[in-house]
Copies of this chain bind each other. A is one copy, B any other.
Amino acid sequence: MKAAALLAGLLMAVAAAAQTPPSPAELLAASPAGDWREVPAEQLLRLQLPAGPVWIELAPEFAPYHAANLLKLVQAGWFDGLSINRVQDNYVVQWGDPAAGSATARPYPEGVLKLISAELRRSARGLAFTALPDPDSYAAEVGHSAQGLPMARESDTGMAWLAHCYGMVGAGRDEGPDSGNAAELYVVIGHAPRHLDRNVTLLGRVLEGMERLSSLPRGSGALGFYEQPLQRVPVVTLSRALDLKPEQRVRFQVLRPGSPTWSAWTEARRHRRES
């Protein structure tokens, strides 16, 4: 690990001397193991679509009650056989029970909460935060949490919250802020809808398979809902990685915010050469 760190350092030094900074891909290839965090299997979900899997990591640091409720739904297989019902261009993909709210709605398993108070912000105290130097139109400070999630912080109030960036997973709700329970989920597939920050609960993000959501046919109904039931995209299963067969499991590692590779990588992305 030390040798790898040394190699990464050397690579940057050599590149600096040659006036050609290493590319983001070169930095990742040379990164030491210690710059990476293993995603815990108990927070890792697999959304199985007909086209393949989408892997999601939960964010219990920010939405503990929503994450816990979602895990109960997932462990009970509650989402299996439901569907993606809404794909709104430059906005969100959303899945859940298309019959929600009607007489034929799928009942919740024992122990699942029907409504959870929105988890829109929390105290920033004790929360790791790797700041970005860039200005932001929506928050005083922006950067990343320990998990590498896009995060905003405000010293006036001492509060922190997750930001609605591409690939973030949220809990759909009705009009009231406390009207969701993580049985209806959405993923951001367009320009970051930051006006939703502190307005709707975010509870995780997509790690892999994002293109299986972003390339889905758009719905032609209001808010991008599919107008015909047959247009809906089946949710084959939504499972915890822990509950998958060993051969179906995938391990993920995510770059640690603030690590040497992270710092060099974000800087390389800021001044990128590739088109």
**A interface residues, Cβ below 8 angstroms from B:** 87, 89-90, 134-137, 165-167, 172-173, 190-192, 195, 200, 210-211, 214-218, 223, 272, 274-275
A173–B165 Cα gap in the complex (Å)?
28
A223–B274 Cα gap in the complex (Å)?
9
A265 CB to closest chain B CB, in angstroms?
A: 15
Name A269's closest neighbour in chain B (CB-CB).
B195
Q: Of B195, B210, B215, which one neighbours A216 at CB under 8 angstroms?
A: B215
| Besides A136-B137, A172-B275, A214-B214, 18 other A-B contacts (C-beta < 8 A) | A87-B215, A89-B210, A89-B214, A90-B166, A90-B167, A90-B210, A134-B137, A135-B137, A165-B191, A166-B190, A190-B190, A191-B191, A195-B272, A211-B218, A215-B216, A215-B217, A223-B274, A223-B275
Q: Is the CB of B214 within 8 A of A218?
A: yes
A135–B194 Cα gap in the complex (Å)?
13
Q: What residues of chain B lie closer than 8 Å to A173, measured between beta carbons?
A: 275
A200–B272 Cα gap in the complex (Å)?
14
Q: Is the CB of B90 within 8 A of A214?
A: yes
A90–B206 Cα gap in the complex (Å)?
13
User: A173, A210, A211 — which one has the most chain B CB atoms within 10 A of its CB?
Assistant: A211
Q: What residues of chain B lie closer than 8 Å to A223, measured between beta carbons?
A: 274-275
Q: What residues of chain B lie closer than 8 Å to A89, measured between beta carbons?
A: 210-211, 214-215
Q: What residues of chain B lie closer than 8 Å to A217, measured between beta carbons?
A: 211, 215
